[in-house]
Amino acid sequence: MERVPILKIGDILLVSIQIDMEDQVALRLQEDLADRIVATGCHGVIIDISALDIVDSFVGRTLATIASISKVLDADTVVVGMRPAVAITLVELGLSLPGIRTALNVELGMALLERERGDDSDGDEKEDEDDTGTSAVITS
C-alpha cells in the first residue's frame, strides 16, 4: 500500500500529499503522523495538498481529525496549497472544513506556525496589553 512520506524540518513536520487520498491512505497517514509527532517532539505540522485535485468530505474530515490529534500532542497543524478549483468546489458543496487552519503556500504556513508559537509562549492577551502600553508610552 502506498504511504505518504513525513519529513522533519527543524521543529516542523512536513507532509506533502502527492497521491490520491484513498480512505486507507488517509487513515494510515493519521496513524503515522501521530507516531512521528510523539517520536520527534515537533510542535508544528504542515500538510501540503497542492497536488490534490479532489478533496471530498472524507479527506476533509481526516484533515480535521489530524489537526485535533496534533493539538492534543501539542502541535499546530496548517493545511497549505489548496487549489482554487478545490476551494470553489468545497464552497459549492457547503463544506467549510471547520477546525482547519490554512495558508497559501508552505512558506506562509511556516510563518503562520512561527507566529502561533510566539503568541502561545507570550500569551495572547498579555501581548495585546503590552502593545497598547508601549504605544501609549510612545505617543505621550
Min CB(77)–another protein separation in Å: 12
Q: Contact between 38 and another protein (CB under 8 A)? A: no
Q: Contact between 87 and another protein (CB under 8 A)? A: yes
Q: What grid cell was written down for 37?
A: 509527532
Q: Which of 92, 124, 132, 139 binds another protein (CB under 8 A)?
A: 92
Q: Which of 13, 17, 25, 103 binds another protein (CB under 8 A)?
A: 103
Question: What three-state secondary structure class fits 101?
Answer: strand
What is the layout of strands, in order, in the sheet containing 101-103? 6-9, 12-16, 44-48, 76-80, 101-103
Question: What three-state secondary structure class fits 115?
Answer: helix
Min CB(36)–another protein separation in Å: 23
Q: Which H or E element spans position 134?
A: helix 124-139
Residues near another protein, by CB under 8 A: 78-80, 82-84, 87-88, 90-92, 96-97, 101-105, 107-109, 111-112, 115, 131
